Amino acid sequence: MANVNYFEVHKEMPGFGINVSVPNADIYLDFDSSLGRGSGVLISLIFQLPKWGFERVKIDETVVVTPVFQQYYQLTIKQKEELEAIIKSSLASIATALSDLEMLKHDLRKYKEFMDYFKMIEVGKKKGDEKLRLQGEQALKAIFIDQVDAHTDLPNQPIALRSIVARWPTIISDFMKLSDEDVDAQKIKEKYNVSEAEGVVLATKNKLYKEWRDELFKRAVEERFKSLLGMVEARKKSYEEYKEMIKPTLRRYKSIVDGLSKAGIASDLERAAFWRPGSQAMSLDTATIWAWKPFAAPEKYKSVREAPLDEIPAEKAGFKPEEIELLKKEKLIKSNGKVKALPMEPSIDDVVRKIIKDIEKEYNVKITAKEIFNARQKLVERFEKSVTGVTDYESWIFSPYFMFFEIPVIRAVIRLPNGTEIEDLM
One domain, residues 115 and 200:
yes
| Cβ burial 75-84 (10 Å sphere, 16+ → b, else e) | ebbeebeebe
Domain membership of residue 354 as a residue range: 311-398
Predicted local distance difference test score (pLDDT) of residue 2: 41
Closest CA to 202 of 186, 190, 185: 185
Is 78 inside a domain boundary?
A: no
One domain, residues 121 and 237:
yes
Total domains, the chain: 2
Number of neighbours of residue 22 by Cβ within 10 angstroms? 7
Predicted local distance difference test score (pLDDT) of residue 5: 46
One domain, residues 336 and 238:
no
Closest CA to 343 of 291, 307, 316: 307
Distance separating alpha carbons of residues 209 and 180, to the nearest angstrom: 9
Predicted local distance difference test score (pLDDT) of residue 103: 92
One domain, residues 320 and 183:
no
Is 297 inside a domain boundary?
A: no
Is 12 inside a domain boundary?
A: no
One domain, residues 215 and 90:
yes
Is 10 inside a domain boundary?
A: no
DSSP string, 136-156: HHHHHHHHIIIIIGGG-PBTT
Distance separating alpha carbons of residues 180 and 183, to the nearest angstrom: 7
Is 38 inside a domain boundary?
A: no
Distance separating alpha carbons of residues 328 and 316, to the nearest angstrom: 16
Distance separating alpha carbons of residues 259 and 285, to the nearest angstrom: 8
Q: What Cα–Cα distance (Å) separates residue 321 from each residue in 318, 327, 353, 402?
A: 10, 10, 15, 29
Please list, in sequence order, all residues whose beta carbon lies within 8 angstroms of the beta carbon of residue 279, skipping any fewer than 6 positions away: 68
**Domain boundary residue among 247, 278, 300?**
247
**Stretches in the chain below the pLDDT threshold 70:** 1-21, 298-309, 387-392
Asked if 104 and 112 touch (Cβ cutoff 8 Å), the reply is: no
**Domain boundary residue among 221, 247, 273?**
247
Predicted local distance difference test score (pLDDT) of residue 102: 92
Distance separating alpha carbons of residues 134 and 120, to the nearest angstrom: 8
Give the pairing of strands 402-415 and 338-340: unpaired
Is 262 inside a domain boundary?
A: no
DSSP string, 222-264: HHHHHHHHHHHHHHHHHHHHHHHHHHHHHHHHHHS-BGGGSHH
Asked if 284 and 64 touch (Cβ cutoff 8 Å), the reply is: yes
One domain, residues 242 and 316:
no
DSSP structural state of residue 279: T
DSSP string, 397-410: PS-S-EEEEEEEEE
Give the pairing of strands 281-294 and 402-415: antiparallel
Query: What does the angle CA 29 – CA 35 – CA 36 come to, to the nearest 5 degrees?
Result: 70
C-alpha atoms less than 13 angstroms from C-alpha of 365 in its C-beta half-sphere: 9
Q: Is 14 helix (H, G, I), strand (E, B) or coil?
A: coil
Closest CA to 224 of 336, 107, 323, 378: 107
Asked if 311 and 338 touch (Cβ cutoff 8 Å), the reply is: yes
One domain, residues 96 and 219:
yes
- Percent of the chain at pLDDT > 70 equals 91
Predicted local distance difference test score (pLDDT) of residue 28: 84
One domain, residues 239 and 96:
yes
Q: How many residues does the chain have?
A: 426
Is 171 inside a domain boundary?
A: yes
Is 290 inside a domain boundary?
A: no
Kind and range of the H or E run holding 91: helix 77-127
One domain, residues 214 and 104:
yes
pTM score over 0.85: no
Asked if 292 and 404 touch (Cβ cutoff 8 Å), the reply is: yes
